[in-house]
Structure 1
Amino acid sequence: MPSKRGPAAASPTLEQERQAYRDMLLIRRFEEKAGQMYGMGLIGGFCHLYIGQEAVVVGMQMAAKQGDQVITGYRDHGHMLACGMDPKGVMAELTGRRGGLSKGKGGSMHMFSVEKHFYGGHGIVGAQVSLGTGLAFANRYRGNDNVSMTYFGDGAANQGQVYESFNMAELWKLPVVYVIENNRYAMGTSVSRASAQTDFSKRGISFNIPGEQVDGMDFRAVYAAAQRAIQWCRDGKGPYILEMQTYRYRGHSMSDPAKYRSKDEVQKMREERDPIEQVRRRLLDEWKVSEDELKALDARCREIVNEAAEFATHDPEPDVSELWTDILK
C-alpha cells in the first residue's frame, strides 16, 4: 500500500488556526508547569511531557467529531487537554489529589474520562493498541460511525500485539486510525538503531492497511491527514495508519537526561520547526492577527495553568477508603 499523501482535505480557517494556537499553547504551558512541579517534588512517580509534539493531537482532534474515541500511552497529558478535559482535574491527578480525574489514584500515566471519550493513558508499552482496536470493534458492532484514534510511539510500534491488532482491524474493517507518534528516540534509542523498517507508515503493508507519513510539527499537515484518515474509517474502509513525524524537546521522562542526542539538534528543531511558532507566524503574517491578541491568549493559558497548579497543590489527598474502590474482584 502507498505511504504517500492522500487526496486534498479542507484547509484550516482563521478560527481553526486561532483555536489550534490556543490549544497547543495550553498544552505547552501546562507541561512546562508540570515539569516545574515535578522538580519541586509535588508530582511523584513517572512524568512524561509532550512538549514539541502538540500539533499532532490538536490537529487530530480538530478533525474528529463528538463520539470519536481517543486512547494513548503514558505521554498523555496533551491528549487529555485536547479532548477538553479539565486542566484542574488533570493536574490534580498528577499530584495525587482527590479532585484528580482518576481520584488521585492513577497519576500521570493513568487517566480516564468516559464523558470526553478518553480511554486512558496506559503504562504498558503498546497495550493501548489492542484496546483501541477493541473500541473500534465496539463501534462496528453497534453500527455507529464513530472512529477510534489510537496513539502509540515509534518504540511501541515494534510490539507484537500491534500487528495482531492490525490483522484483526483490517480483517474486520474496523474504524480505527493508528496514529504513530514517531518522536525519533522511543525511550532513548534512535529509530535507525531500533527499527529495520523506519518508514512506519508502511508497517501495515502486509495487512493491506494504507498509511502515510505526515509532518507532525505542522498543524495544517496533521489536520489535513486526519480528515482523510478519519473519513476513510467512517466510510467503512477499515483502519488507516498515520505516521506523525514529530519530536519531543524533553527527555523520555523527567528522569531522562537525553544524552543520546545533542543540544544543538534540539535547539535547531525548536528554532526551525516548532509547531506553535509556525501557527503564530501565520496568524501574524497571513491572517493579520495582532500581537496583542496573541499575547492575551498566552496570558489566559498561563492563568488557566496557574489556577490548575494552585488547585492541585491544595486539594485534599484521597481518603484511605479509596484504596478499596474501583478494584476488580
Structure 2
Amino acid sequence: MRLSGDQRLEAYRRMLRIRRFEEEGMRQTRAGKIPGSFHASVGQEAAIVGACLALRSDDAMTGTHRSHGHPIGKGAHLDALMAELFGKESGICKGRGGSMHLADKSVGIISESAIVGGGIPLATGCAFGAKQRGLDQVTLCFFGDGAVNQGTFHESLNMASLWKLPVIYLCENNGYAISTSVAQSHGQPDIALRAAGYGMPGIEVDGQDVSVVYEAAAQAVARARAGEGPTLIVANTYRFDEHNFGMVISGPPYRSIEEVQTYKRGRDPIVLYRAVLLDAGYDEDSLAAIEEEVAGAVKQAVEFAMVSPMPRPETLPDYMFKSPLTGSHSFVDGLERN
C-alpha cells in the first residue's frame, strides 16, 4: 500500500500546514495572543500525516498535549483551530479547550488530552464501541514515548488484544519525555517489542519518512477493519523545539546543540519529502503553488482568530454537566443555546 499521486501532494500540503500553523502559533504566543503553554510538533509532521492519510474521514482519532498537528493531519480547517488557540468563541471548542484539549468532530477527533497517556483508554473505548455497533470504523491513537510507561498503555493494549478491537496505537517516539531520554526511563527501550507481550504486531518505522509511516498505518488499518485486532506502530521522530515553546531547562542540557542541528539540517521531514517529490517528477511550480496556498490559509486563520469575539462571561458555565453558579445542568442548556 503506497501513497497515490494525489495523496503524495496532499501529504506535502498537510505537513506544510502543520509546520506553518505552528510557526505562526509560536509567533502569536510570543506576542501574548495565545494564552498558556504551546507544545509544537515541528519536526514530527511526517509521523502524523502518514498515519492520518491511511484513515477514512469517518474514522476516529485521539491525540496528546502536543495536539495541533493531529487535527491538521486529519484535514481540519485552520480558521476555527487557530481561534481555539486564541480562546475565541469561534474556536472548535468555543474557546474552552485551548492548545492542549482540542476536539474536532468534523474530522473524527474525539479528544486530545494534556494527561500523559490519557487518550489511550479513550481510543480503546471508542474502538470497543465501534465493534459493538458492528461498524468497520477504526480508531487511531497518538501518544508519546513517555506514555508507554503509564498504566493506561498496558491496560488498554491488553484489552484491545483480548477483544480484537479495531484500534491502531501510534507512538510518536521523539526520544524524550520532556527532558528525560528513553534510555534513562525505559527498561526496554525498543518500544515495539512491548507489543509481543499483548499478542499484537509491533512495528518500528522511520517517523521522518511520510511514505513509510503511511504504508505501516495502511496495513494496520486494513488488519483492524478485517477484525484481526490492534497494532502498535512506533514512529521514531524528533521534536525540533523544546517540550513547550519558550521552556528553559535549568541545569545541564539534556541534548546537545549538535544533535538538534543534525535533525534540523538532515532529517527535516518536509525537506526530505520535497526532494522525494521533485525526484518523482513533480515540478517546482506545483510545490510552490501549495506553499503559497498554505501561507494564505495560515494568514487567513490568524485574521479570523483576531477578529473573533471572546466568549461572553455569562456563558462560563455552559458545557459543564452542572453549573457551579445555578446548580442547573448547564451542559444541556448550553447545547440547546448553541
One fold, TM greater than 0.5? yes
User: In structure 1, which of residues 17, 20, 41 is the aligned counterpart of residue 8 of structure 2?
Assistant: 17
The 2-side partners of 1:83 and 1:11 are apart by: 18
1:170 paired with 2:164, answer no
Divergent runs of 4+, >2 A: 255-259
Residue in 2 that maps onto 1:233: 224
1:216 touches 1:244 (CA, 8 Å); kept in 2? yes
| Shift, 1:15, TM fit | 2.0
Q: Secondary structure at the match of 2:177?
A: coil
1:117 paired with 2:101, answer no
2:14 touches 2:75 (CA, 8 Å); kept in 1? no
Residue in 1 that maps onto 2:39: 48
Residue in 1 that maps onto 2:333: none
Amino acid at match of 2:154: Y
Q: Secondary structure at the match of 1:56?
A: helix
1:82 paired with 2:73, answer yes
User: In structure 2, which of residues 295, 306, 314 is the aligned counterpart of residue 313 of structure 1?
Assistant: 306
1:272 paired with 2:263, answer no
**What's the Cα RMSD here?**
1.2
Matches for 1:246-257 after TM superposition, within 5 Å = 246-257=237-248
1:43-69 CA-to-partner distances (Å, cap 9, x unmatched) read 111111010011112111211113211
- In structure 2, the gaps of 5 or more residues are 323-338
The 2-side partners of 1:16 and 1:88 are apart by: 23
Number of equivalent positions: 319
1:284 paired with 2:275, answer no
**TM-score (norm: length of structure 2):** 0.92
The 1-side partners of 2:4 and 2:134 are apart by: 32
| Shift, 1:282, TM fit | 1.5
**TM-score (norm: length of structure 1):** 0.94
1:17 touches 1:279 (CA, 8 Å); kept in 2? no
The 2-side partners of 1:216 and 1:124 are apart by: 23
1:73 paired with 2:67, answer no
Residue in 2 that maps onto 1:4: none
Once the two structures are overlaid, the 10-residue window that deviates more, 58-67 or 96-105, is: 58-67
Q: Secondary structure at the match of 1:179?
A: strand
- In structure 1, the gaps of 5 or more residues are 1-9
1:92 paired with 2:83, answer yes
| Shift, 1:292, TM fit | 2.4
Q: Secondary structure at the match of 1:214?
A: strand
Amino acid at match of 2:244: S
Q: Secondary structure at the match of 2:109?
A: coil
| Shift, 1:254, TM fit | 1.2
Residue in 2 that maps onto 1:34: 25
1:29 touches 1:302 (CA, 8 Å); kept in 2? yes
| Shift, 1:107, TM fit | 0.5
